[in-house]
Homo-oligomer: A and B are copies of this chain.
Amino acid sequence: MNKNNNKNTSELILDTAQAIVQQFGFNGFSYSHIAEKVGIRNASIHYYFPNKEDLGEALISRYLRSFLVYVDQVDADTSNNVEKLRKFILLYNGPVQEYCTCLSVTLSADLATLSGKVQAGLSKFFTANLAWLERVMEEGKREGQLKFEGTAEVEAHHFLASLQGAQLLSRSFHDTSKFEQITSSLMSALVK
């Protein structure tokens, strides 16, 4: 096989693994589950990702990269900070529609069973999220689009926490409207 196919298989494994992890948790999946879905043998996954830790690292670092690509695009397309927050919410709304949680929430819940590197990757992901949100909060307040008491840092934390919890509640009740209700209330408190 050529390099192109190589990349496809590796990405296919990651796509599949991510979907399974988001649905069943990091301790709720096995190499067999992935192999079956991808249509390869167990050992072939070990060829690309020697052990589960490697796979975990690949998942979270890829997740961070795609997040950065997304928010860069949002920054490029959008000037209004209210609109930016709405697009951030859209990102967290994706998993809700499939009745699962985003990778970061899933890994966060399974934190104690993750290797140090995966934990560090998760921290980096949240740090990137909070940094972006904080900047949007800051600018939005300065430009009079957003209203909140306290610092932009705390508001960013509160915002992210609400989305995470909204995902959990939506899924537990198998009701996507819960996510929308919570995020609506979150936004209306910020723009009123």
Residues of B within 8 A of A164 (CB): 161, 164-165, 168-169
Asked whether, in the complex, the Cβ of A168 is within 8 Å of the Cβ of B100, the reply is: no
Residue of B nearest to A157 (CB): B182
Residues of B within 8 A of A84 (CB): none
Asked whether, in the complex, the Cβ of A154 is within 8 Å of the Cβ of B172, the reply is: no
Identical copies in the complex: 2
Using a CB–CB cutoff of 8 Å, the interface residues on chain A facing chain B are 23-28, 100-101, 105-106, 108-113, 119, 122-123, 126, 148-150, 154-155, 157-158, 160-166, 168-169, 171-173, 178, 181-182, 184-186, 188-189, 192
Dominant secondary structure at the A interface: helix
Asked whether, in the complex, the Cβ of B161 is within 8 Å of the Cβ of A182, the reply is: yes
